[in-house]
Chain A
């Protein structure tokens, strides 16, 4: 009857084993090994010996070997020892049975085994050797054949995929850490987790270039610098050493090592050798391309890549110029970047991009950055604005330096013409103006963002005087008016300072134009002056004369019709919006009045005291603006500001 039952079960048993291996594994490892379940399986296996095909038994054996370590109570398996032993005769199952018996054998098994017939059957295969050696260990008197001394791996580790699955499930159930590797069941990829030999992420140590095989043994030449004896790079430790040996020094065999060696970087600055830069750029380009964590699938070395980017950035700051390979890398990888991985490092590297022509920059830098910019958090926006400001400053500094050494034509292969430079810078500023406008609307004019935008324009407003670049670009209305009408005094103060600097620059440009009496290459167009005047009218109207709503002539400005203003039902419309009542300044006005106690409002000479009070509160920009742009001829005629006319 048992046999009949088993015939019925064997089919189900087979399919159970075959079809549900993975679910079995998963259910077993949520808790400890369920002995009962195993017992059920083993009993059916035992009795279905004649019914099941060999494949099923093989599968069962393989599974047993894989999960052997997890079984807590092995008595039942030991009870089946003889049963498994009988399978040794089957050629296909022999390796697996040997492996299983190897795991199971204990001392008491040795006595009851009819092992002596084994060697006649199959000869000395490695799995049999393993089993026999174990028997020899336990019962040396029963094993008389000699076994080879060297221990090799006897059993094939054939169930790697299963083991991988088991480990993954255990990890998942033990810790709640997310699986970092996908559960793919197959052989490992050829270039998988361990480090490849050609990985360059570790910056090589400086070692002398021993490649000088130019043997001039035949010639006798007197070498003044004794160049045969070059100073070994490994010994270079201090700056005085560098100075002493500067003529005998050679670059190390692997250029990558200069990144961490400031002395060699100094040396690199002195040597104007193209091959040096070529070597470094090739190495760096390949490393960046290869190790980029978001461009190469399953690259898990994000921290090392971050450190590498830091090192590159520090080197660029040291040399005060960007690497062309780094620029290429940014152009290639920014379109694929998620804005999150290595964020601060990438944005800092962006600030060292050398001047390039506009169309390249637009498609490779501005477009991907804009995409990320509009869809990211406030902090990302501010970081991008900061890095663009530094980019602008680096370009301007480069321009100033090369202005002095104008004859150095071989150094810069990029735009050497002034008009080219002006165009590129202008495009950058317009780009920033555009994204700032949109960002302010998206984020609803937060002070934090406005600070970074106005910081950028602080650099822009001074380009003529500080950096000798004949370019003056006013901020767009989308930046100016939110700053003018902002609710906090920091932005207002910054804006005042910026307008003051614009004025200074414009005045200086005008004077230069008029004094030189010759045609200058660049002169600011009348449109620039006009724009400035419009802004200044609005500003003075807001701060001083309370006439912003009537007199603002900017097309995107504050001007409102009389009827609309009447509808607001504000009393004293003509005196209600100025430096006292401006939302940003109200706080100061209140504090001022509290201090002086007893004054209801601020007019007449109290106005001056109020202004003095504001200046002591740190509003230096405001002070400069008022002093420069507002003519205080008399109380009555609060004249409009600015004596620069188009």
Chain B
């Protein structure tokens, strides 16, 4: 299939260059692995597609900026990296105040203790003393109108016998990056933190989420990322400069079969991918839908030439680059602290499009 608008010069490397094997053992240097896998996916249509309010059809502005390297304080945000965060969208919180974070910690601890009394168990046979800490992360915001991020941590206290440290067993944080356009006219009582990320046992997410829903009258919903949005992320993140040698860009596709669904993993050398993207993108600092389509079409046609499989008909399920990796079920992993704010901005846009 001839890619419409193929790049002017075929970038070297895509056709003949041998790929460096990835450090994670995912297969031979060929770069494509097929494994049978269970199907997943929430099957939710992207609401951002349906009511385009002056933006691109994806919830992303059609002229999204490339992510400039930000200078968030790496120390405080180091613990956010390299963890799998499950994404939720949250409607505005009513009567949430930064002045009462201590009180919230106390109430939440009491709530968790009460739930455990009811017989709901986290882990069988293990007694834990739980402490909850609600704190604010003032660095994690995009503009001044954004509300500072709020971090909730559930830690297990060390028992007197053991000398182990306090261990963080669950953490979740609310944030809003550059959401001021949408929340301009909100009354005072509302706090807009549309994105929630959780890491840890699902049972704790349920408890903390229920408490927030009851106390601040908000709604949590899983944020799924559609394949269209994933391809945008792939394109945007490929173009970012990374200092160290980056890991390969990997796209995982799911081909649902009746008896045995297939997973196709397509790994591309990061420099090749960046070279391709540089030829496709015309205006620095701006990305359009056509450029993303061209980029993906090039990758698909290359794959087709070698394996005779049309990836455009498969469902893009996961995108991993050096900057972050995103899964269509709404799971994200941040890998570079300098681009953290940029990725959060994209995710905030997605969350807002699900709320509106």
Interface set of A (CB-CB < 8 Å, partner B)? 22, 184-187, 189-191, 197-198, 200, 204, 207, 209-213, 253-255, 274-275, 278-279, 282-283, 285-287, 289-290, 295-298, 328, 331-332, 335
User: Which residue of A is nearest B207, CB measured?
Assistant: A197
User: Which residue of A is nearest B219, CB measured?
Assistant: A286
Instruction: Contact check, B51 vs A298: say whether CB atoms are below 8 A apart.
Output: no
In the complex, chain B residues 3-62 whose Cβ is within 8 Å of any chain A Cβ: 38-45, 47, 50-51
Instruction: Contact check, B39 vs A184: say whether CB atoms are below 8 A apart.
Output: yes
Please measure, in the bound complex, the distance between the C-alpha atom of A145 and the C-alpha atom of B44, giving whole angstroms.
Answer: 55
Among the listed A253, A254, A286, A296, which residue makes an inter-chain contact with B355, where contact means beta carbons less than 8 Å apart?
A286
- CB-CB nearest 5 A-B residue pairs: A297-B43, A186-B38, A197-B206, A286-B219, A282-B91
Please measure, in the bound complex, the distance between the C-alpha atom of A190 and the C-alpha atom of B100, giving whole angstroms.
Answer: 35
B306 on the A face (CB < 8 A): no
Can you list 5 contacts pairing A with B, beta carbon distance less than 8 Å? A197-B209, A197-B210, A255-B217, A286-B355, A328-B51
A278-B190, A282-B92, A332-B47 are known contacts. Are A297 and B213 too (CB-CB below 8 A)? no
Instruction: Contact check, B95 vs A331: say whether CB atoms are below 8 A apart.
Output: no
Residues of A within 8 A of B97 (CB): 213
A190-B329, A298-B43 are known contacts. Are A282 and B219 too (CB-CB below 8 A)? yes
B216 on the A face (CB < 8 A): yes
Instruction: Contact check, A286 vs B47: say whether CB atoms are below 8 A apart.
Output: no
Please measure, in the bound complex, the distance between the C-alpha atom of A204 and the C-alpha atom of B38, giving whole angstroms.
Answer: 36
Please measure, in the bound complex, the distance between the C-alpha atom of A328 and the C-alpha atom of B353, giving whole angstroms.
Answer: 13
Residues of A within 8 A of B215 (CB): 210-211, 253
Please measure, in the bound complex, the distance between the C-alpha atom of A285 and the C-alpha atom of B91, giving whole angstroms.
Answer: 10
Please measure, in the bound complex, the distance between the C-alpha atom of A212 and the C-alpha atom of B210, giving whole angstroms.
Answer: 18
B214 on the A face (CB < 8 A): yes
Please measure, in the bound complex, the distance between the C-alpha atom of A184 and the C-alpha atom of B261, giving whole angstroms.
Answer: 10
Instruction: Contact check, B44 vs A297: say whether CB atoms are below 8 A apart.
Output: yes
A213-B100, A213-B103, A331-B51 are known contacts. Are A282 and B355 too (CB-CB below 8 A)? yes
Q: Least Cβ distance of A373 to chain B in Å?
A: 21
Q: Least Cβ distance of B287 to chain A in Å?
A: 27
B170 on the A face (CB < 8 A): no
Residues of B within 8 A of A185 (CB): 259-260
Residues of B within 8 A of A210 (CB): 215
Instruction: Contact check, A191 vs B222: say whether CB atoms are below 8 A apart.
Output: yes
User: Which residue of A is nearest B218, CB measured?
Assistant: A282
Instruction: Contact check, B39 vs A253: say whether CB atoms are below 8 A apart.
Output: no
User: Which residue of A is nearest B96, CB measured?
Assistant: A211
B contact residues, range: 35 or more
Residues of A within 8 A of B259 (CB): 22, 185
User: Which residue of B is nearest A284, CB measured?
Assistant: B219
Please measure, in the bound complex, the distance between the C-alpha atom of A290 and the C-alpha atom of B355, giving whole angstroms.
Answer: 11
Instruction: Contact check, B91 vs A283: say whether CB atoms are below 8 A apart.
Output: yes
Instruction: Contact check, A275 vs B189: say whether CB atoms are below 8 A apart.
Output: yes
Q: Least Cβ distance of A324 to chain B in Å?
A: 12
Instruction: Contact check, B217 vs A186: say whether CB atoms are below 8 A apart.
Output: no
User: Which residue of B is nearest A252, CB measured?
Assistant: B217
Residues of B within 8 A of A297 (CB): 42-44
Instruction: Contact check, B217 vs A295: say whether CB atoms are below 8 A apart.
Output: no
Instruction: Contact check, A186 vs B39: say whether CB atoms are below 8 A apart.
Output: yes
User: Which residue of B is nearest A182, CB measured?
Assistant: B258
In the complex, chain B residues 40-95 whose Cβ is within 8 Å of any chain A Cβ: 40-45, 47, 50-51, 88, 91-92, 94-95
Please measure, in the bound complex, the distance between the C-alpha atom of A197 and the C-alpha atom of B210, giving whole angstroms.
Answer: 7
Residues of A within 8 A of B214 (CB): 204, 207, 253-254
Residues of A within 8 A of B47 (CB): 289, 332
Instruction: Contact check, B44 vs A189: say whether CB atoms are below 8 A apart.
Output: no
Among the listed A198, A253, A335, which residue makes an inter-chain contact with B219, where contact means beta carbons less than 8 Å apart?
A198
Residues of A within 8 A of B216 (CB): 211
Q: Least Cβ distance of B120 to chain A in Å?
A: 11
Instruction: Contact check, B187 vs A190: say whether CB atoms are below 8 A apart.
Output: no
Residues of A within 8 A of B187 (CB): 274-275, 278
Q: Least Cβ distance of A158 to chain B in Å?
A: 14
Extra contacts, 6 of them, besides A189-B39, A211-B94 (Cβ < 8 A), are: A197-B209, A209-B95, A275-B94, A278-B92, A282-B218, A286-B91
Interface bits B253-270 vs A (CB < 8 Å: 1, else 0):
000000111000000000
A283-B91, A290-B221 are known contacts. Are A275 and B190 too (CB-CB below 8 A)? yes
Q: Least Cβ distance of A274 to chain B in Å?
A: 6
Instruction: Contact check, A296 vs B213: say whether CB atoms are below 8 A apart.
Output: no
Q: Least Cβ distance of A181 to chain B in Å?
A: 13
Instruction: Contact check, A187 vs B210: say whether CB atoms are below 8 A apart.
Output: no
User: Which residue of A is nearest B205, CB measured?
Assistant: A197
Instruction: Contact check, A279 vs B217: say whether CB atoms are below 8 A apart.
Output: yes
Among the listed B92, B186, B220, which residue makes an inter-chain contact with A198, where contact means beta carbons less than 8 Å apart?
B220
User: Which residue of A is nearest B189, CB measured?
Assistant: A275
A296-B44, A332-B50 are known contacts. Are A186 and B261 too (CB-CB below 8 A)? yes
Q: Least Cβ distance of A256 to chain B in Å?
A: 8
Please measure, in the bound complex, the distance between the C-alpha atom of A274 and the C-alpha atom of B259, giving whole angstroms.
Answer: 53
Residues of B within 8 A of A283 (CB): 91, 217, 219
Please measure, in the bound complex, the distance between the C-alpha atom of A189 and the C-alpha atom of B44, giving whole angstroms.
Answer: 13
Please measure, in the bound complex, the distance between the C-alpha atom of A283 and the C-alpha atom of B213, giving whole angstroms.
Answer: 10
Q: Least Cβ distance of A161 to chain B in Å?
A: 9
Instruction: Contact check, A198 vs B217: say whether CB atoms are below 8 A apart.
Output: no
Residues of B within 8 A of A331 (CB): 51
Residues of B within 8 A of A254 (CB): 213-214, 217
Q: Least Cβ distance of B340 to chain A in Å?
A: 26
Please measure, in the bound complex, the distance between the C-alpha atom of A189 and the C-alpha atom of B329, giving whole angstroms.
Answer: 10
Residues of B within 8 A of A279 (CB): 94, 217
Residues of B within 8 A of A197 (CB): 205-206, 209-210
Instruction: Contact check, B217 vs A191: say whether CB atoms are below 8 A apart.
Output: no
Residues of B within 8 A of A295 (CB): 45
User: Which residue of A is nearest B125, CB measured?
Assistant: A150
Q: Least Cβ distance of B215 to chain A in Å?
A: 6
Please measure, in the bound complex, the distance between the C-alpha atom of A592 and the C-alpha atom of B209, giving whole angstroms.
Answer: 76
Instruction: Contact check, B43 vs A211: say whether CB atoms are below 8 A apart.
Output: no
Q: Least Cβ distance of A77 to chain B in Å?
A: 29
Residues of B within 8 A of A198 (CB): 88, 206, 209-210, 213, 219-222
Instruction: Contact check, A191 vs B42: say whether CB atoms are below 8 A apart.
Output: yes
Please measure, in the bound complex, the distance between the C-alpha atom of A184 and the C-alpha atom of B42, giving whole angstroms.
Answer: 14
Q: Least Cβ distance of B149 to chain A in Å?
A: 20
Please measure, in the bound complex, the distance between the C-alpha atom of A290 and the C-alpha atom of B210, giving whole angstroms.
Answer: 17
Q: Least Cβ distance of B213 to chain A in Å?
A: 7
Instruction: Contact check, A332 vs B221: say whether CB atoms are below 8 A apart.
Output: no
Please measure, in the bound complex, the distance between the C-alpha atom of A287 and the C-alpha atom of B215, giving whole angstroms.
Answer: 18
Please measure, in the bound complex, the distance between the C-alpha atom of A190 and the C-alpha atom of B261, giving whole angstroms.
Answer: 17
Please measure, in the bound complex, the distance between the C-alpha atom of A287 and the C-alpha atom of B217, giving whole angstroms.
Answer: 13
Q: Least Cβ distance of A547 to chain B in Å?
A: 56
Please measure, in the bound complex, the distance between the C-alpha atom of A298 and the C-alpha atom of B97, giving whole angstroms.
Answer: 38
Please measure, in the bound complex, the distance between the C-alpha atom of A254 and the C-alpha atom of B216, giving whole angstroms.
Answer: 8
Residues of A within 8 A of B42 (CB): 189-191, 297
Please measure, in the bound complex, the distance between the C-alpha atom of A444 and the C-alpha atom of B92, giving whole angstroms.
Answer: 53
Instruction: Contact check, A253 vs B222: say whether CB atoms are below 8 A apart.
Output: no
In the complex, chain B residues 213-239 whose Cβ is within 8 Å of any chain A Cβ: 213-222
Residues of B within 8 A of A290 (CB): 221
User: Which residue of A is nearest B103, CB measured?
Assistant: A213
Among the listed B51, B88, B217, B260, which residue makes an inter-chain contact with A253, where contact means beta carbons less than 8 Å apart?
B217
Residues of B within 8 A of A190 (CB): 40, 42, 329
Residues of A within 8 A of B220 (CB): 198
A184-B39, A213-B97, A279-B94 are known contacts. Are A287 and B219 too (CB-CB below 8 A)? yes
Residues of A within 8 A of B45 (CB): 295
In the complex, chain B residues 281-304 whose Cβ is within 8 Å of any chain A Cβ: none
Q: Least Cβ distance of A635 to chain B in Å?
A: 66
Residues of B within 8 A of A275 (CB): 94, 187, 189-190
Residues of A within 8 A of B329 (CB): 190
Q: Least Cβ distance of B182 to chain A in Å?
A: 13
Please measure, in the bound complex, the distance between the C-alpha atom of A287 and the C-alpha atom of B221, giving whole angstroms.
Answer: 9
Residues of B within 8 A of A207 (CB): 214
Interface bits B100-113 vs A (CB < 8 Å: 1, else 0):
10010000000000
Q: Least Cβ distance of A333 to chain B in Å?
A: 9
Please measure, in the bound complex, the distance between the C-alpha atom of A209 and the C-alpha atom of B215, giving whole angstroms.
Answer: 7
Instruction: Contact check, B219 vs A296: say whether CB atoms are below 8 A apart.
Output: no
Q: Least Cβ distance of A255 to chain B in Å?
A: 6
